[in-house]
Structure 1
Amino acid sequence: MMFTGLLMAASVASSTPDIQTYDAKDYSSDITQCDVLISHPDDPYKIGPGVKRRDADLPAAVTACERAVKADPKNPRLNYQLARAYGYSGMGEKAYPYRELAVKAGYPQSLFVIGYITLMGINKQPQDTCKGGDLIRRSAKVGRFAGQVGFPYYWLEGKFAQCKFDVTKEELLDYVTNGHANADGDFYKETLVDLLKKDIVEHFEKP
């Protein structure tokens, strides 16, 4: 598929725990040093400026996020960011419960990120193809661009063949159509989406 060159970056039934609908109003939006030091640049619910991995002061971020989560333990944004700081610091096992809390709360950024590392079995996250695929699919449903292109791509590649996902052409096209709207005019993202849409149509039109 032409799309393959543009995308870089185990149970049969999903074992994903029940996931709530995330509403930022349910949690504190007071900015913390954790938000300043390690919020993800692409996180739609970040309240910090967003920091790329290469620019992060990881020891300071770990300390700040541990403090923030201790003060506000149920806040999924802060739990996700603590998990991010731990993961980048080589402490994937320590990140696990904080990843799970963010996912269970339905925190949109965590759905894709934790889905991806679960799918790949990286950063000391237990590998589970179907759980990872389910999380990525959920991230697409809540409007994360990475999920809107990632789930159709992996599905077309046969990554989820062992999973009992009832996927339709309309669902996949809906993801990429919305993904185009989320591309913010970026030429590379729009081109990727257009090629993926073509692959979806061709797949379902095969005899």
Structure 2
Amino acid sequence: MSDGSGTLAVCVFCASGPVPEAAVALAAEVGTAIAARGWSLVSGGGRVSMMGAVAQAAREGGARTVGVIPEALVAHEVADDEADDLVVVSDMRTRKGEMDARSDAVLALPGGLGTLEELFEAWTSRSLRMHDKPVVVLDPDGHYDPLFAWLDGLRGTGYVSERGMAGVVRTSTVGDALDALGAVQRT
């Protein structure tokens, strides 16, 4: 697979700023679960908030971690110097490309503008058949409910297709999310 070890490399998009402690705990649970399955983690390369929690927990569980961070954010997001591979890139677009190249699946946790932007690019690319990586949203507390309600309302209007909506799997538990990452049929 993409990490060179023969394991599934999961790219996790999530918040890197101040969030409720429950969200940080969710990220840590995801990192632990990724490690328990023998998978590796690709993250945004920060060591704070949810981003740091998922990477730290994955490493503590024995997973290989790859962090990809733009040079301008190294100080801002406090770079994850403990990553097995910390890749410093020139900008956000290069970051996403590098994360995509190093991963086999995408998991979005609760997050803000950056997470949404990353999720939408992965999701759109999958729905356009530009890649066949599973794209999964883990949302145990309804963080994304308003977004999906809006998108569901656009079905049949020409703005959002059924194929587009089928390009993402929504889950509410860590186990279901990881099962979906491992089981989504590549098309």
Which range, TM-score by smaller chain? 0.3 to 0.5
Q: Which has the higher contact order (CA 8 A, sep 6+)?
A: 2
Structure with higher helix content: 1
Q: Which has the higher strand share?
A: 2
TM-score by length of 1: 0.31
Which is greater in Rg? 1
